[in-house]
Amino acid sequence: MKYTRIPSDELEKLEDEFVNFLVVNGITADDWVAIKENEPMNAAEIVDQFSDVVWESILRKTKYLNKIEDQSAYYFKCDLEKIFLIKIDKREEGAEQLSTSKEYHTIRELELFEMIQNGCTISEGEEFEKLNLA
């Protein structure tokens, strides 16, 4: 598995997409019921494959990530080849802003997924763009 399994409550929200995934993979509704009942390991593998497809789709569309901590805020712009960072540190005398960028060390989507696992959230990018203009 490339990413993590989608939790059951989230999977329920993606029921239509999951049904389409099953159909594309030649699995009918009756087949799915039988697989769940008789082949739980195979059912789990199918859910894992679906989860990877969903994560891949989300990560490919991700353009911005944010991470807010007690003393720092991180705003990322995730281009195809590079990731840009604007970091704001809170200081007693005010705020300090740092900007930098880097190329991805591995596959873009894997790096973004790791960042999300480490506390980043997907954003629309308003904060990054406002700070970038300042």
In this prediction, residue 119 has a pLDDT band, given cuts at 50, 70 and 90, of very high
Q: State how far the alpha carbon of 92 is from the alpha carbons of 12, 82, 131, in Å.
A: 47, 32, 20
In the chain, helix, strand, coil percent, each to 5?
50, 25, 25
The tens digit of pLDDT for each residue in 97-112 reads 999 999 999 999 999 9
- The pTM of the full predicted model, rounded to 2 decimals, is 0.87
Q: Rounded CA gap, 60 and 81, in Å?
A: 12
Residue 91 is predicted with a pLDDT of 85
112 in Cβ contact with 59 (< 8 Å): yes
Cβ(66)–Cβ(77) under 8 Å? Answer: no
Q: Does domain 63-133 have CATH number 1.20.58?
A: no
